[in-house]
Amino acid sequence: MHHLFPYDNIVVGILILIVGFGFHWIGQLLSVINWEFGTKLGLQESGMPKEYKVYEHATAVADSIIGWLYGFATIGLFLNVSWGYKLAWIPGAIFIYHSINYWFWNLNRDRDGNKLVSNSVRITWSLTNFVTGLLTILMVWSAG
């Protein structure tokens, strides 16, 4: 198996564990179970207009349904087994999707006069997802 860099499977596994399993799955699952608690923890924006909450809740449900795979992909990468690399395609693609979606979702909300997050949060979260997704896809691609 080819590697992008030494221990790339461990580095990417840690990123998937933190960004995907931690924030996307556990964080969103907490929000689905108790939206107010998720808001109190800062996982969801407070003061969100009702029409935005519908979309945000749907995203949280989708993340909760698929996010458990991130944990399995992480375990597979830590064990350096082929099925871990195959599963890692899923979070890799979703992270890139999330980065683009979050960037434009917040940009459009800002333009609509509903600025709910700062530009630094938008940039940081979009960049974190994009870099994690891109690194994951490059690692899986190079592993062949």
Q: What is the pLDDT of residues 82-114, one digit of tens each?
A: 999 999 999 999 999 999 999 999 899 889 888
Domain assignment present for 61 = yes
The domain in which residue 25 lies consists of: 8-143
- Within-domain flag for 71: yes
pLDDT of 63 higher than 80: yes
Q: Which two tokens stand for residue 47?
A: 């003061």
Residue with tokens 């949060």: 121
Q: Rounded to 10 degrees, what is the CA torsion of 108, 110, 114, 118?
A: 130
Count of structural domains, the chain = 1
Is residue 121 domain-resident? yes
Residue with tokens 């207009």: 49
Does residue 3 fall inside a structural domain? no
Q: What is the pTM of this model?
A: 0.90
